[in-house]
Homo-oligomer: A and B are copies of this chain.
Amino acid sequence: MDIADWRRKIDELDRRLVELINQRAECAHEIGKLKRNSEMPIYEPDREKIVFDNIARHNPGPLSNIELRQIYERLIDVMRQIQRDEMAPETNAGSDHTELGTND
């Protein structure tokens, strides 16, 4: 395979990744709705550990767990913003999203 072939493969992987990342966002959105209507706490710090443990346990390489975690920290940060907006869309628009932990 030459470089163009590998890039075609990357572009194809990216299309599948975009689909799965959006499915994950939909799940975070649904959890946000359920939390809004329940007595569950907004912030559950143990959940982030479970997510990182899950990806590390299923990491086949070549990425190290540290590299994978670097990517996931950003992914979770974006999901957290979505869910926070879902939790309190009226009051939080435009505010920053830095003080909450992982909510998915």
- A65-83 vs B: 1/0 string, CB under 8 Å? 0011011011101100110
Bound-state Cα–Cα, A6 to B35, Å: 12
Evaluate contact between A24 and B30: CB separation under 8 angstroms: no
Evaluate contact between A70 and B74: CB separation under 8 angstroms: yes
- A1-42 vs B: 1/0 string, CB under 8 Å? 111001101110111111111111111111100110010100
- Say which residue of B3, B17, B55 sits within 8 Å of A40 (CB atoms): B3
Q: How many subunits of this chain does the assembly comprise?
A: 2
- Say which residue of B16, B50, B74 sits within 8 Å of A74 (CB atoms): B74
Shortest C-beta distance, A57 to chain B (Å), equals 9
Residues of B within 8 A of A17 (CB): 17, 20-21, 24, 55
Q: Which of A1, A2, A17 neighbours the largest number of chain B CB atoms within 10 Å of its CB?
A: A17
Q: A59 at the A/B interface (Cβ < 8 Å)?
A: yes
Shortest C-beta distance, A25 to chain B (Å), equals 5
